[in-house]
Amino acid sequence: MGKKQTSQISNILLSVKDASIAISVSTKMVRLLIASGRLKAVNLGKRMTRISLQELTDFAQRQGGNVVLPSSSLPFNNDKRERNKKNANAKPETGNVNKRAKCRMTTASDIAPEGVTHDSHYTLAEVMSKFNIKYGRLYEIRNRYQLASVHAWGTTAFKKEDVEKAIAKYDEEQGKAQQEAYYTCFDIMQKYGLGKTQVRRFAETHNVRIKKAKGGRTNLYLKADWEAARKKAEKTSASTKAKRI
């Protein structure tokens, strides 16, 4: 990568949305990272928070990840003719190159510490793919359970046994917390003798907070909201009170 291109990359400012896409996390996670001081940003005005590409790249590398940007995001891509001419005269690059980010990736793709194999360890990308979780959730699990990692194959790798135990424990804790705080539709139907449509309409009418269960097909109803709404409705409606069994 030439000096001019390196300089241009270091000066690129990304929006929160672009930054979230580049490191595969939610915009909420990017804002939390900024608020906690783990990711530096500048405020150029109202709703104009910007993160430098250099800062984002440094952060991703510290976490064992990388930044992936559409090539159209880079300013020097407009001068395509000049770039192609330079590439034609340039010496062939060694190692792998991320064509989208236009930055050289590691050349240590086949290097791993002794005893670390693909049978014993998952790479960062393998964990995200196998367990269907995003980088932000993996980052949370990694910190919560102090998941040990090693640098192998040019990326971060984790012992398979440790990853599987940590994710199983996380899922168990999340499920228990969810069960304690939320009703399923079936729970409400059994407890109050309501039909599915009645549950949905009551929740909508009384602004009961709802979230999607894992998989996104089932609604969960916040117990505190539901109980408060039922008590309020029972004071003014005999039919509502009669539904309780």
List, for residues 29-65, the tens digit of each pLDDT value.
888 888 888 888 888 777 788 888 888 888 888 887 7
Enclosing domain of residue 138: 121-175
pTM higher than 0.85 for the full model? no
Asked, for residue 114, whether it belongs to a domain, the answer is no
Cβ atoms of 40 and 142 closer than 8 Å? no
Query: Is residue 9 domain-shared with residue 84, that is, in the same domain?
Result: yes
Query: Is residue 146 domain-shared with residue 98, that is, in the same domain?
Result: no
Query: Is residue 47 domain-shared with residue 132, that is, in the same domain?
Result: no
pLDDT band at 103 (very low <50, low <70, confident <90, very high): very low
| Range among 19-23, 36-40, 143-147 with highest mean pLDDT value | 143-147
What's the structural domain count of the chain?
3
Read off the tokens for 208: 């009961």
Query: Is residue 81 domain-shared with residue 39, that is, in the same domain?
Result: yes
Alpha-carbon 36 to chain mean position? 17
CA distance 170 to 68: 28
Asked, for residue 116, whether it belongs to a domain, the answer is no
Query: Is residue 146 domain-shared with residue 207, that is, in the same domain?
Result: no
| Buried b or exposed e, range 177-195, using 16+ CB within 10 angstroms | eeeeebbbbebbeeebebe
Query: Is residue 166 domain-shared with residue 183, that is, in the same domain?
Result: no
Cβ atoms of 29 and 17 closer than 8 Å? no
Query: Is residue 14 domain-shared with residue 85, that is, in the same domain?
Result: yes
Asked, for residue 112, whether it belongs to a domain, the answer is no
